[in-house]
Amino acid sequence: MLKKAKIVFGVDEVGRGPLAGPVMAVAITVRQFSMFNVQFSKNFQLKNFQNKDSKKLTAKQREEVYNFLKQSPEVRWATAKVGEKAIDKINILQATKLAMGKAVVSLEKKLGKKADLLLIDGSFGIALRRPQKSIIKGDEKVFLISLASIVAKVERDRLMAKLHKKYPQYGFDKHKGYGVKIHLANLAQFGPCKIHRTSFKPIKKP
């Protein structure tokens, strides 16, 4: 399937686990992939850049890769997010699939062409009539998915930093909405705000 595909998208998301903020998905594609791979390796191989899964990189490393991708004429991507109200209404898995589908359609509009193959991180497909390959831990196994993971992580982190300015009492700039100890303490003190997910414990009422 991969060998025959002409336009391949890597698709991944970040933000399924946090107690606040949206889930964000990215669809990304690379033209002239072999040429791009050489350029990428030259830039990052010397920095011991071995695993490109966003969760295993530092914030600085993610920003470096993000900026490289943004400047590369070979790379195109699109982002899409689904907010906390929709997450509470349809559940996080369906919200994740919805965000991924929106990202794919958005990238296709940018390219003016439909994808020949979607490489999706996870064990599920999305509701688009496109050839799809779901890959568990795809962000650790497939280069395109790992790039999507990095872009999604950087963009969501930046969004949560902006939301921190609106809701400074929660520390979103530090924990990005995840349920760490300080976030739980701030929740206990101030209660949830508008971007918290009311369907998630411990916010969800018994």
Residue for token digits 């946090």?
18
Question: What is the rounded distance in angstroms from the CA atom of residue 77 to the CA atom of residue 110?
Answer: 9
Spatial contact of 190 and 168, defined as CB atoms under 8 Å apart: no
User: Percentage of residues in the chain with pLDDT exceeding 90?
Assistant: 78
Spatial contact of 130 and 105, defined as CB atoms under 8 Å apart: no
pLDDT value, residue 206: 66
Question: What is the rounded distance in angstroms from the CA atom of residue 69 to the CA atom of residue 77?
Answer: 9
pLDDT value, residue 126: 97
**pTM score, whole prediction:** 0.91
Q: What is the pLDDT of residues 24-81, one digit of tens each?
A: 999 999 988 777 877 887 777 645 554 556 777 889 989 999 999 999 999 999 999 9
Question: What is the rounded distance in angstroms from the CA atom of residue 201 to the CA atom of residue 192?
Answer: 12
Q: What is the pLDDT of residues 145-187, one digit of tens each?
A: 999 999 999 999 999 999 999 999 999 999 999 999 999 999 9
Whether the pLDDT of residue 84 is over 80: the answer is yes
In the structure encoding, which two tokens stand for residue 186, read together?
A: 């701030």
Domains of the chain (ranges; CATH) run 8-190 (3.30.420.10)
